[in-house]
Structure 1
Amino acid sequence: MENTSTSSVTTTSVGVRYGILTGIASVIISLVLYATNLEQSPVRWISMLVLAGGIVLAHQLFKQHNNGFMSYGQGLGIGAVVGAVSGLISGVYTFIYSQFINPDFLSIALNKARADMEARGNLSDEQIEQGLQMSAKFMDGPFLYIGAILGTLFFAFLFALVISAFTKHKRPEFE
Structure 2
Amino acid sequence: METNSTSVSTTSVGLRYGLLTGLVSIIISFGIFAAQMEDSPIKYISYLVLIGGLVMAMRYYKANNLGFMSYGEGLGIGVMVSAVVGVLSAIFTYVYMNIIDTDAVARMTEKVRAGMEEGGKLTDEQIDQSMAMAGKFMNGPFMVVAVVISSVLVGLVFSLVISAFIKHTKPEFE
The TM-score bracket by the shorter chain reads over 0.9
Report the alpha carbon displacement of residue 43 of structure 1 after superposing the two structures with TM: 2.0
Spell out, residue by residue over 1:32-88, the C-alpha distance to the aligned partner (whole angstroms, 9 max, x if none).
112222112232122112111111110110111112210010001000110111111
Aligned to 2:91: 92
Find the aligned partners of 1:117 and 1:42 in 2 and give their Cα distance.
20
Aligned to 2:56: 57
SS of the residue corresponding to residue 161 of structure 2 reads helix
Give the TM-score, by structure 1 length. Answer: 0.92
Percent sequence identity is 49
Moved over 3 A (4+): 2-5
Spell out, residue by residue over 1:114-152, the C-alpha distance to the aligned partner (whole angstroms, 9 max, x if none).
112222333322222222122112112111112111211
Find the aligned partners of 1:34 and 1:129 in 2 and give their Cα distance.
25
- Report matched runs for 1:24-173 at 5 Å: 24-173=23-172
Give the alignment's Cα RMSD to 1 decimal. 1.5
SS of the residue corresponding to residue 102 of structure 2 reads coil
Distance 1:85 1:63, change over 3 A: same
Report the alpha carbon displacement of residue 24 of structure 1 after superposing the two structures with TM: 0.6
Find the aligned partners of 2:34 and 2:48 in 1 and give their Cα distance.
20
Contact 2:15 2:80 in 1 (8 A): yes
- In structure 1, stretches of 5+ residues that fail to align are none
Give the TM-score, by structure 2 length. Answer: 0.93
